[in-house]
Amino acid sequence: MSSNGNAPTTRAGKAADYLDQRTSVGSAVKEFARKVFPDHWSFLLGEIALYSFIILIITGVFLTMFFVPSMALVEYHGPPATMDGQLMSDAFASTLHTSFEVRGGLLMRQIHHWAALIFMAAIVTHMMRVFFTGAFRKPRELNWLVGTLLMILGLLAGFSGYSLPDDVLSGNGLRITDGVVKSIPLIGSYLSYFIFGGEFPGDDIIPRLFTVHIFLIPGLILALVALHLFFVVLHKHTQYPGGGRTDKNVVGYPLFPVYTAKAGGFFFIVFGILALMGATMAINNVWSYGPFDPSPVSAGAQPDWYMLFLEGSLRLMPGGAEFVMWGDWTVSLNVLIPAVVVPGILFTFLFVYPFLEAAVTKDKREHHVLDRPRNVPVRTGLGVAFLTAFIILALAGSNDLIATHFHMSINTITWVFRVLIFVGPWFGFWITKRICLGLQRKDRELVLHGHETGRIVRFANGEYIEVHRPLDEQERWLRVNYSAHTPLEVEPATDSRGVRRKGYAQDKRMQRLSRFFYEDRIEPVTPAELAAAHSHGEHDAIAGGEHVEITSGAAVGGGRDLVEPDAENDGPPRH
């Protein structure tokens, strides 16, 4: 009996041994299983993006079995009744067939669409966490670039995906794309003919988008996800600051069995939530719009949320900003600036920022402990400024809905957003920077004097003093263990022989930039300052045994801020 019971295990062991001897996979699995990961909820944002992408692949495979990527016109017969007998493309007809006649088809379509929205939301919030905590610093600059490329590919995947049904909404989006492409000087018209296979809408755009959506972009995303995870394993995982956490260790749990079980369970949670959303929340009901026709454009014709900033940018740009170049080439700045220049600025900022910050700090150390956003006020302010601009543009992309729902003038709304797009980011940066500096001052005050308790003591000479409770070691470490970078110092413009030094102009530019980043700063409390703050001068003698009248509780020390003794013993306070 025991022999029969152990036979499957023996066969599995032999198979594993066979595989290990030919691939050496055992050592890799063993090393990977020992990988330690910190335990914090924000690290799940990347997992949500990964699991959403897996769900996109699963549901996408199902949908490709029924979708017909063709723009050939057919007369549709079937549900719903409003579409019966209408002339439409094969793409739109197959979408209706999948939604109403394929068992589970509509559920899969809705899960697929919701997964796409959650995928982009998880990527954006994950990148926000990485940016605000400085997780992009050395040695993770390349991984930040990989993440930025993944976000861009996610935008392209979403755009190519919701353009496939060939309904009014997707057709309007493609028409806008055609206008944006044609606004590119010199090559715009040629690019448009190449993309659409002729004058818009042509006959080729849906088959081409289908190929891009199911082959090209998913393949690139899979490759970049693999590279991203490789970098995560290669480097030590980042961790939030705290006691015992340094750049030389990782405090957490091993991948196996702790995080293997957590990751498996979390995948099914994400899948379950997306399935519930797909079953109960209707989205992208293409039959409400009908097959593509360039004539009907109404309020509510907005893209998915992650493309709204482009829509808003186009809506805010005043018309008439055009000029003719060389007598034949019309340059439409009213399209080129909002649809090409503005996204270009955003993505360029994301690509270059890690290298820019490294240049203004001259910091070449490896960083595995994350920053608290308050300790890097300018970086946090810049992040909030860009988020503010994104939100304003997204709201501007729905200015018609705001006007119809709140019975307001669309012209007034548009002009308000035009002002806000310039004032809002600046104000967001300024107020965020001031809040961060204020929080740093509060931390400094807490380290030096402890928590206020509301307890008052009175000395024999009639002086009243508040008792403060000292911070424990974890709290103090969190508030003092960071580097306050200072503006760069540059060498003189000339060397010892009076010859102008090469590179001086570049050094001066970097110095001015570093002043923008680090001129306003709060230095962390030093051990000397802490000792001085807890040296109470003439009141030390009082604590040594002289009479003290106490109105509430006991006190140790003196000065303007007293510190309570250690709760576990009656010795001196812990500093």
Task: Classify 25 as helix, strand or coil.
Answer: helix
Percent of the chain exceeding pLDDT 70 equals 90
Q: What is the pLDDT of residue 137?
A: 93
For the cut 70, the answer to whether the pLDDT of residue 254 exceeds it is yes
> Residue 469: beta bridge partners?
451
Q: What is the pLDDT of residue 542?
A: 39
Per-residue pLDDT band for 454 (boundaries 50, 70, 90) equals confident
For the cut 80, the answer to whether the pLDDT of residue 348 exceeds it is yes
Per-residue pLDDT band for 299 (boundaries 50, 70, 90) equals low
Q: What is the pLDDT of residue 270?
A: 96
Q: What is the pLDDT of residue 198?
A: 85
Q: Which of 35-44, 295-304, 328-337 has the lowest mean pLDDT?
A: 295-304
Q: What is the pLDDT of residue 313?
A: 93
For the cut 50, the answer to whether the pLDDT of residue 2 exceeds it is no
State phi, psi for 486 to the nearest 5 degrees.
-110, 155
Annotated domain spans of the chain: 43-240+256-294+306-371, 445-563
The residue to which tokens 């001085």 are assigned: 532
Task: Please tell me the distance from the alpha carbon of residue 459 to that of residue 543, in angstroms, as a whole number.
Answer: 10
Q: What is the pLDDT of residue 370?
A: 93
Q: What is the pLDDT of residue 9?
A: 60
For the cut 80, the answer to whether the pLDDT of residue 407 exceeds it is yes
DSSP 89: E
Q: What is the pLDDT of residue 388?
A: 96
Nearest to 119 by CA among 275, 286, 306, 285: 306
Nearest to 408 by CA among 418, 422, 398: 398
pLDDT in tens, 177-212: 998 998 888 888 889 999 998 888 888 999 999 999
C-beta contacts of 523-531 below 8 A and 24+ residues apart:
523/484, 524/444, 524/479, 524/480, 524/481, 524/482, 524/484, 525/444, 525/447, 525/448, 525/479, 525/480, 529/448, 530/447, 530/448, 530/575, 531/575
Task: Please tell me the distance from the alpha carbon of residue 131 to that of residue 390, in angstroms, as a whole number.
Answer: 16
Torsion-angle region of residue 300: left (phi > 0), alpha (psi -120 to 50) or beta? Answer: left
State phi, psi for 555 to the nearest 5 degrees.
-145, 155
Q: Which of 33-47, 90-104, 148-162, 373-387 has the lowest mean pLDDT?
A: 33-47
For the cut 50, the answer to whether the pLDDT of residue 283 exceeds it is yes
Per-residue pLDDT band for 138 (boundaries 50, 70, 90) equals very high
For the cut 60, the answer to whether the pLDDT of residue 568 exceeds it is no
Most confident of the ranges 169-178, 248-257, 485-494, 549-558: 169-178
Using CA atoms, how far residue 517 sits from 241, 245, 514, in Å, is 22, 26, 5
For the cut 50, the answer to whether the pLDDT of residue 409 exceeds it is yes
Q: What is the pTM of this model?
A: 0.86
Percent of the chain exceeding pLDDT 90 equals 49
C-beta contacts of 448-452 below 8 A and 24+ residues apart:
448/525, 448/529, 448/530, 448/533, 449/533, 449/561, 449/563, 450/561, 450/563, 450/564
End-to-end CA distance of the chain: 66
Q: What is the pLDDT of residue 536?
A: 56
For the cut 50, the answer to whether the pLDDT of residue 95 exceeds it is yes
Nearest to 166 by CA among 335, 305, 298, 284: 284
pLDDT in tens, 457-507: 888 888 888 888 888 888 888 888 888 888 888 888 777 777 777 877 888
For the cut 70, the answer to whether the pLDDT of residue 404 exceeds it is yes
Cis status of the peptide bond prior to 257, with omega within 30 of 0: yes
DSSP 483: -
Per-residue pLDDT band for 298 (boundaries 50, 70, 90) equals low
> Residue 75: beta bridge partners?
87
Task: Please tell me the distance from the alpha carbon of residue 435 to that of residue 442, in angstroms, as a whole number.
Answer: 10
Q: Which residue has the higher pLDDT, 492 or 95?
A: 95
pLDDT in tens, 524-543: 888 888 888 777 544 444 34
For the cut 50, the answer to whether the pLDDT of residue 14 exceeds it is yes
Sign of CA dihedral 424, 428, 434, 439: positive
What average pLDDT is seen over the chain?
A: 85
Task: Please tell me the distance from the alpha carbon of residue 352 to that of residue 349, in angstroms, as a whole number.
Answer: 5
Per-residue pLDDT band for 377 (boundaries 50, 70, 90) equals very high
Helix (H) or strand (E) holding 563: strand 561-563
> Residue 74: beta bridge partners?
88
pLDDT in tens, 411-451: 999 999 999 999 999 999 999 999 999 999 999 999 988 88
Task: Quote the Cα angle for 280-286-288, to 5°.
Answer: 90
Torsion-angle region of residue 297: left (phi > 0), alpha (psi -120 to 50) or beta? Answer: beta
Which stretches of 242-341 are DSSP H helices? Answer: 260-280, 308-316, 333-336
State phi, psi for 247 to the nearest 5 degrees.
-75, -5
Task: Please tell me the distance from the alpha carbon of residue 369 to that of residue 250, in angstroms, as a whole number.
Answer: 9
Q: What is the pLDDT of residue 462?
A: 82
Q: Do residues 518 and 486 make contact, with C-beta atoms less than 8 angstroms apart?
A: yes
> Which residues contact residue 75 at a Cβ distance below 8 angstroms, ignoring those fewer than 6 apart?
85, 86, 87
The predicted model gives 114-120 an average pLDDT of: 96
Q: Which CATH homologous superfamily contains domain 43-240+256-294+306-371?
A: Cytochrome Bc1 Complex; Chain C (1.20.810.10)
